[in-house]
């Protein structure tokens, strides 16, 4: 099965199969636009459901929240509209009794933005973090404390801004393609297959 590509019937079958294992949640198993399908799954299984990493802006989450189509909101700060928009999404979800886990797979700068946002969300439960899997990740910035994660927790820095600075040497040493701060026109003219938040692939 594929992430975000299952049918409601398939997810219900999967949810029932994995229930004995005590999962924290099933993450985005269906297309983001199938709100009624998410609601059907959430009502049918005991495993918590989470979705939202591909939704854009508060208005994109509104129907999912108002229908309580998932158990846990799962916005991605980098695609949902930024720090303030993500907080608005979480605050609206809290009015409907929905906690918020932040989806994240990005740079240390984005990690710190998520950290500050999470600290401002009363209903926050968890922040996804893949930086530990990348040996060069910490070298992309300066100011990140050594052993910044302790027993699953990260202290919110009290320094100005996000609390870290770019390390240009570390960035340049780990570029996938040569050239630091080159033009990125491809982001201005998306092509077929180029990922865009809130774009349906079934149309």
Residue 81 covered by a domain: yes
Q: What residue has token string 């709100």?
A: 35
What's the CATH number where 108 sits? 3.20.20.120
Residue 126 covered by a domain: yes
Residue 30 covered by a domain: no
Report the distance separating Cα 201 and Cα 193, nearest Å. Answer: 9
Report the distance separating Cα 128 and Cα 48, nearest Å. Answer: 16
Residue 200 covered by a domain: no
30, 8 Cβ separation under 8 angstroms: yes
Overall pTM surpassing 0.85 (yes/no): yes
Secondary structure of 114-153 in HEC code, one letter for each residue: HHHHHHCCCCEEEECCCHHHCCCHHHHEECCCCCCEECCE
Residue 66 covered by a domain: yes
92, 58 Cβ separation under 8 angstroms: yes
Query: Mean pLDDT, 10 residues at a time, over the chain (203 residues)?
Result: 81 97 94 95 98 93 98 96 97 98 95 97 96 90 91 92 95 84 71 56 59
CA 174-178-76 angle, 5° bins: 55
Total domains in the fold of the chain: 1
Q: Domain range holding 123?
A: 52-177
Q: What is the pLDDT of residue 197?
A: 55
Residue 46 covered by a domain: no
């Amino acid at each position: 099965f594929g992430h975000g590509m299952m049918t409601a019937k398939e997810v219900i079958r999967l949810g029932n199969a994995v229930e004995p294992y005590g999962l924290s949640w099933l993450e985005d198993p269906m297309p983001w636009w199938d709100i009624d399908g998410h609601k059907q799954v959430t009502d049918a299984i005991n495993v918590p459901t989470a979705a939202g990493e591909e939704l854009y802006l508060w208005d994109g989450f509104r129907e999912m929240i108002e229908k309580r189509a998932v158990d846990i909101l799962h916005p991605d700060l980098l695609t949902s509209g930024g720090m303030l928009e993500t907080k608005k999404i979480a605050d609206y979800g809290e009015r409907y009794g929905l906690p918020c886990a932040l989806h994240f797979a990005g740079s240390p700068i984005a990690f710190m933005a998520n950290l500050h946002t999470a600290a401002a969300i009363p209903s926050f439960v968890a922040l996804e973090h893949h930086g530990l899997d990348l040996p060069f990740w910490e070298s992309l910035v300066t100011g990140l404390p050594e052993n910044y994660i302790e027993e699953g927790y990260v202290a919110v820095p009290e320094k100005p801004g996000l609390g870290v600075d770019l390390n240009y040497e570390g960035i340049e040493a780990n570029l996938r393609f040569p050239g630091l701060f080159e033009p990125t026109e491809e982001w201005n003219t998306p092509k077929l297959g180029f990922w865009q938040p809130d774009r349906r692939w079934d149309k």
